[in-house]
């Protein structure tokens, strides 16, 4: 399992941004639309929980982006990918103290142990409402949390010094990555195969037109643009450490056919 999935999301965002913003002379519109639809189709294999984590990951990327057009595009990606409408089939319910997502009939929040029968739960009617909620950095772990939260949903640290200490008995288990950083399991997209399959799609598209395997008279995709797409994806994946790069290669081999994996491995230089 790749522990740091953010480079994967960044690579996907770069590919989608290039497909969305290229001119008709650079990429044939039909090819661009088909490429984005293929990526979207792969990501729709994610369940509701993973789609929520994908939206959270994209929001973290947008918050850290210095380029305003890219930041705006990344924030719009859940809608562009067609998640709204399917993204959440019913209203999302959150603990009013730590903003951990809970079920409507939850009695005790598993993160901060708040008795949710005594305090009104927070209801958000759409993923857009969740993504647009103002964020803040946890005073302890630095992860992005809902600004109104009294406790961090990841490390359970009190943000404002209000209320009782959250218990540790029901706390979500922490996963240690090989660099010694704590990473919460709920912050990861569990269906990694769907994520990698979505990444394979633009690699196949850009890799094909950047190679000499396409008739030079075919001008559906400018080879220079295709090469730029490969470069952007590869540069984002360089942020993976050695262990995650090994897991990436293993995951791609599982998610792709033998011919696809051989081609993608050559394109990325794995």
What is the per-residue pLDDT for 98? 85
What is the per-residue pLDDT for 178? 32
| 76, 200, 260 from 197: Cα distances, Å | 21, 5, 11
Q: Measuring CA to CA, which residue among 22, 9, 7 is closest to residue 228? A: 22
Reported as half-sphere exposure (CB side, CA atoms, 13 A), residue 129 has a value of 11
- Domain residue spans of the chain: 6-45+191-268
What is the per-residue pLDDT for 39? 92
Is 68 exposed, middle or buried, given 0-12, 13-18 or 19+ CB atoms closer than 10 A? exposed
What is the per-residue pLDDT for 217? 56
pLDDT in tens, the chain (270 residues): 788 888 899 999 999 999 999 898 899 999 999 999 999 999 988 887 788 788 888 888 888 888 888 988 988 888 888 776 544 445 568 888 888 888 878 888 888 888 887 767 776 655 555 555 667 788 888 887 887 888 888 888 888 644 333 333 222 332 233 333 333 334 678 888 898 999 999 999 998 888 766 555 557 888 899 999 999 999 999 999 999 889 999 999 999 899 999 998 888 887
Contact call for residues 10 and 61 (beta carbons, < 8 A) = yes
Rounded Cα distance, 190 and 233, in Å? 21
pTM summary value: 0.62
């Amino acid at each position: 399992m790749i522990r740091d999935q953010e480079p994967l999301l960044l690579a996907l965002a770069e590919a989608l941004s290039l497909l969305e913003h290229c001119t008709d002379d650079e990429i044939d519109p039909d090819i661009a639309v088909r490429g984005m639809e293929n990526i979207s189709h792969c990501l729709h294999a994610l369940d509701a929980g993973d789609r929520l984590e994908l939206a959270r990951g994209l929001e973290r990327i947008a918050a850290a982006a210095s380029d305003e057009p890219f930041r705006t595009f990344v924030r719009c990606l859940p809608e562009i990918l067609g998640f709204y409408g399917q993204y959440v089939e019913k209203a999302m319910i959150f603990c009013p103290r730590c903003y951990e997502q809970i079920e409507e009939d939850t009695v005790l929040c598993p993160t901060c142990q708040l008795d949710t029968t005594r305090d009104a739960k927070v209801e958000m009617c759409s993923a857009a409402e969740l993504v647009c909620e103002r964020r803040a950095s946890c005073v302890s772990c630095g992860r992005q949390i809902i600004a109104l939260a009294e406790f961090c949903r990841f490390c359970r640290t009190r943000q404002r010094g209000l209320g009782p200490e959250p218990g540790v008995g029901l706390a979500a288990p922490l996963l240690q990555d090989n660099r010694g950083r704590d990473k919460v399991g709920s912050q990861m997209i569990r269906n990694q195969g769907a994520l990698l399959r979505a990444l394979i799609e633009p690699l196949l598209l850009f890799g094909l037109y950047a190679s000499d395997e396409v008739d030079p008279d075919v001008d559906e995709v400018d080879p220079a643009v295709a090469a730029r797409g490969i470069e952007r994806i590869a540069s984002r994946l360089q942020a993976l450490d050695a262990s995650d790069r090994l897991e990436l290669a293993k995951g791609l081999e599982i998610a792709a056919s033998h011919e696809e994996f051989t081609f993608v491995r050559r394109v990325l230089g794995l």
